[in-house]
Amino acid sequence: MQELKYVSLGVLVLQTTSLVLTMRYSRTLKEDGPRYLASSAVVSAEVLKIITCIFLVLMENSECFMRAMNQLLKEEIVNKPMETLKLAVPAGIYTLQNNLLYVALSNLDAATYQVTYQLKILTTALFSVSMLGKKLGFYQWLSLLFLMAGVTLVQWPSDSGGDTEEKVVSAGSQFMGLMAVLMACVSSGFAGVYFEKILKETKQSVWVRNIQLGLFSFILGFIGMIVYDGQSVRQLGMFQGYSTITCIVVALQAVGGLVVAVVIKYADNILKGFAASLSIILSTLISYFLLNDFSPTGLFFLGALLVIAATFLYGHERKPTGSSAIKV
C-alpha cells in the first residue's frame, strides 16, 4: 500500500506537469502553417474521454459488448432524462473552463499559471460552504488567506527593462491570461461542487456520469467551435494545425482526469499537496531552463512558497473540499 502511495504521487506530478507544459509549448511554438484551434482540441478531448469511459464501463460488466452497451445507453441515459439533463450545467461550465485554460497558457508562462490556478482551492471551498453546507476549520481558512496572498505576490508587476511598447503588450497579454485563469478557477470550483452534489444524490457509476457529462460537453463544445471558429473550420478543417504535440495535449487532457480519478483513492491530503507543490517546482524549472519564457523574481518565489504552504495547510484538518467531484 505504501508503494502505491508513491506511485500515485509520481503519476499525479507527471500528469499535472506534463499537461501544463505541453499545452504551453504547443500554444507558443512557431509553426509555418496555422495554429491548431483550442476549441477543436477541447472537442477532440471530450470524444476521447467518452470512448475511454465507455470502455471502462464495459470492463466493469461481464456481459457481451452489445448487451452492455445497450444497457448503458437505455437504462442509464435514455430512461433517465432528468438525471442526464442535470449534467448540462457542469458540462457547459467545464467546456468553458477547458477553453479558458488554452487562453491562459497562451498568455502566461507555465510556472505563473500553475501557481495562480491553485486559486481553484479557494473557489471550491467557498462553493462547498454555500452549496453543500460544509464547514471549514481554522487551518483551512488560514490556508485560503495564504493562498490569496501568494497568488497576489506572484502576479505583482515587476519593473523589468525593455521598450515601453513591449511592456504594454506584455502587460496586456498577462492581464488576459490572469483573467482567463481567474474565470477558470471560478468555473472549476462551481462545476466541481455541483458535480459532487449530483454524485452524492445518485448511485450511478462515476464513469457513467462522466459519459453523460462528456456527451453534453461534446455537443456544447462543438457548438462553441462552430460559433467562434466556424470560418476557420470551413476553410481549413477542424483538425488544422494538428501535430504530434497537439495530439499529446489532447490525450493528456482526456486521460488526465481519468488517471487522477484512479489515483485519488490511494492519495491522502498530504500526498496531494506534495504532488501540487512538486508540479509547481518542476514547471518553474522547466519554464526557466527549457522553454526560456520565464524570469523568476523574489516576489514570485515568496508567493509560490505561500501557495505551496497553503496546499499542505488546507488538508490539515479534514479531506479537501470537493475531493469526490471527479471530472474525467
Task: Answer yes or no: is pLDDT of 303 > 70.
Answer: yes
- With respect to residue 211, please indicate whether it lies within any of the assigned structural domains: yes
- With respect to residue 324, please indicate whether it lies within any of the assigned structural domains: no
8-63 pLDDT, tens per residue? 778 878 888 999 999 999 998 887 788 999 999 999 999 999 898 888 777 766 55
pLDDT, mean over the chain: 81
User: Taking residues 55-75, what's their average pLDDT?
Assistant: 67
Report whether 300 contacts 112 (CB < 8 A): yes
- With respect to residue 219, please indicate whether it lies within any of the assigned structural domains: yes
- With respect to residue 323, please indicate whether it lies within any of the assigned structural domains: no
Task: Answer yes or no: is pLDDT of 258 > 80.
Answer: no
Query: Measured between alpha carbons, how far is 217 from 93 in angstroms, rounded to an integer?
Result: 9
Task: Report the pLDDT value the prediction gives residue 255, as an integer from 0 to 100.
Answer: 83
Task: Report the pLDDT value the prediction gives residue 198, as an integer from 0 to 100.
Answer: 79
Task: Answer yes or no: is pLDDT of 232 > 60.
Answer: yes
Nearest to 76 by CA among 217, 206, 197: 206
Query: Measured between alpha carbons, how far is 4 from 27 in angstroms, rounded to an integer?
Result: 34
Q: Which residues form the domain of 131? A: 1-316
161-186 pLDDT, tens per residue? 555 555 555 667 888 999 999 999 99
Task: Report the pLDDT value the prediction gives residue 291, as an integer from 0 to 100.
Answer: 82
CA-CA distances (angstroms) from residue 70 to 29, 48, 50, 83, 217? 44, 20, 16, 18, 22
- Give the count of domains, the chain: 1
CA-CA distances (angstroms) from residue 231 to 32, 39, 45? 20, 13, 21
